[in-house]
Amino acid sequence: MSLREHADECLRINCELVRSILTAFIRNEVTKFGLERVVVGLSGGVDSSLSTFLAREALGPDGVIAVVMPYKISSPESAAHAREVTELLGISLVEVDITPQVDAYFERFPDADRVRRGNKMARERMTILYDQSAAKGAFVLGTSNKTEFLLGYTTLWGDMACAVNPIGDLYKTQVRQLAARMGVPDHIIKKAPSADLWAAQTDEGELGFTYEEVDRLLYLMVDERRPAGELAEEFDPQFVEKVRRRMRDTQFKRRMPTIAKVSPRSIDRDFRYSRDWGR
C-alpha cells in the first residue's frame, strides 16, 4: 500500500462513532455550563451546515439558533443554502445583513484591500454571534475544521472565535463524509468551498491545492509525524514545503496571546487550570 493510499484509508472515519462522540460532546459542553442552546453562524457551506446538524441532533430544534449574516456581495446561493438547512432541521433563523456596519467603517478607509475587508466581515460576524449568544443565553458553536486550523486559513478572532467546536479535529474530507451521513444536502457538500469574502473566491483557488491532497499530507505530517524524506517520495517537495511553512507561520493563530512573564505564576505558563474546572 502506498503512503497516499494509507492516508486515504486512515482519513476514512467511522461516521456513526464520530457522530455519537460529537453529539455527546455538544450536549455535555453546553449543559455543564448550565445552558441549553447554541448559536451558530450558518454560511450555507458544508462546515457550518455539519455543525448545525450535529447541534440539532444533540440539543433538539429549540437548542439551535442559526444566524445568517450576508454582505451585499455575498453569493445569494450561500444564504439560500443556509435557509434550506434551517428549514430541513426545523430550527429558528436570525438574519442580519452586515453591509451597513462594514461599509460604515470602510467609508473612512476606502483604500483597504479585499483581505482587510474580508477579515473585517469575519470579525463583524463574530461580534453579532457573541451578542446573539448573550441575548439567547447560548454558547457560540464553532464551525472551523482541522484543515483550516492547521493551514491558518481562518480569521483570528473572526470565524475561529467560539465557545466550543465539535468539528475542529476533523479534516475537510472527513467533514464531507460525516455531512453526507448526517443528511446535509448533496449540493452543499459538493459545491466549491469558499469563504465568500469576495466574488468568485474559492478556498482551493486561493490555497493553490485541493483539500483532498492537502488532507493526505497533513494527516501524514501531523497525525503520524512522518519525516520529510518519506513525504518527498509521495508528494511534490515544493507542496510539502509550502504546507509546512504555512503551518509554522500561522502557529500564532492557534495559541492564546503571549503574555510577558514577570510574576511567580503567570496565566497558562505556571498558573495551570483546566477550562472545565468545577464542571
Partner 1 sequence: MFRLGLAQMTPVLGDPEANLQIHLDWIKRARQEKVDLLLFAELSLTGYHLRDLVPDVAMRSDAEPLRRLAEAAGEMSLVVGFVEESSSFQFHISAAYLEAGQARHIHRKVYLPTYGMFDEERYLDPGDKVRAFDTRFGRCAILICEDLWHPSTAYLAAMDGALYLLGVGNSPGRGVHGETLATAEIYRLVCRVYAQFFQVWCVFLNRVGFEEGVNFWGGSIVANPMGEICAQAPLLEEALLTAQLDDSEVRRARIFAPLLGSERLELTLRELDRIARERAE
> Which stretches of the chain bind partner 1, using CB under 8 A?
9-14, 17-18, 20-21, 24-25, 28-29, 164, 169, 271-279
CB atoms within 10 A of CB 157: 13
CA distance 138 to 126: 14
In the complex, minimum distance from the CB of residue 232 to partner 1, in angstroms, rounded to a whole number: 25
Between 18 and 195, whose beta carbon lies closer to partner 1? 18
Q: Give the shortest CB-224-to-partner 1 separation in angstroms.
A: 12
Residue 275: CB minimum distance to partner 1, A: 6
12: CB partners within 8 A, 6+ apart: 177
> Which is nearer to partner 1, 125 or 146 (by Cβ)?
146
Nearer to partner 1, 32 or 187 (CB): 32
Task: Please report, for residues 79, 100, 173, 196, the alpha-carbon distance to residue 72 in angstroms, rounded to integers and kept in the order given.
Answer: 11, 9, 30, 11
Q: Which is nearer to partner 1, 113 or 277 (CB)?
A: 277
CB of 193: closest distance to partner 1 in angstroms? 22
Chain centre distance of CA 83: 19
Closer to partner 1 at the Cβ: 168 or 185? 168
Nearest-approach distance from CB 111 to partner 1, in angstroms: 41
Residue position matching grid coordinates 476606502: 110
For residues 243 and 272, give the distance between their C-alpha atoms in angstroms, rounded to a whole number. Answer: 32
